[in-house]
Amino acid sequence: MSLTEPLSPQSSLDEGVAALRQDLLAAGGPQISTMRNYRFAILPYRPQEEMKLRRLMRGLTDELRAAGWGVLPISLQKLLLDRIRTTGEANVQAVIERERRLYAKDPERALDYLRDKIAPHIEGPEGIAADVARLIAEFAAENPAGADRTLVLIGRAGALYPFFRSSALLKQIDGKTLNIPVVLLYPGERKDTTALSFMGELAADRDYRPRIYP
């Protein structure tokens, strides 16, 4: 099989979640990374399996919480919408109307317009990455379980397509997670050992350091 082919049937979402669970519950503490001070991992899944992913994550979350873990789910979709809403209802409606008019003439031009409007709210260390780091810090302060019994699940990344690359997000929160294990739920395709294609649409990105499951 070519290394550029999508995930094989053997590399299923079920197997990825099972492997992640095993490593989180390892006897010596979470083992999702070979680097003690870099506790990031990525769980890729096909975008059409979004509902299955949510079901599996609810099961894993319930199991961990029952065992005394603190689990923080973070929705990138909610963070994006919250940031957009802070610009004011009038501005949001103006952007919507402008995008509709442009789309009727040229869909690509409409996409470029949205990219220009949305990118400043999500890109860079003061964008959504800052919101993620803040939520992790707040959760850690309120949760006495400790880093070895705490998990952050970052999901709904598809809402940022095609405006953002998740590899940039992981870089920007590195060093700001208090050594708590962080798992990015990644809608897309694995192209080889370290390459991921966001939503299966963008060119494969090899700019990833974390463990990719399974």
**CA–CA distance, 40 with 99 (Å, rounded to integer):** 36
Residue 116's alpha-carbon distances to 17, 58, 80, 104, in angstroms, are: 36, 35, 14, 18
pLDDT tens profile 73-114: 999 999 988 988 888 888 888 888 988 998 898 888 888 888
Strands 40-45 and 182-190: parallel
CA 78 remoteness from chain centre: 12
Is it the case that residue 3 has pLDDT exceeding 60?
no
The whole model's pTM is what? Answer: 0.85
- What pLDDT is stored for residue 191 in this prediction? 77
Sign of the C-alpha dihedral computed for residues 13, 205, 167 and 30 taken in this order: positive
Beta-bridge partners for 188: 198
Is it the case that residue 10 has pLDDT exceeding 80?
no
pLDDT tens profile 112-160: 888 888 887 777 778 899 999 999 999 999 987 788 999 999 999 888 8
pLDDT tens profile 25-48: 998 889 898 777 889 999 999 999
Q: Which fold has domain 13-77+124-212?
A: Rossmann fold (3.40.50)
pLDDT tens profile 176-203: 999 999 999 999 888 777 778 887 666 6
Q: Where are the chain's structural domains? A: 13-77+124-212
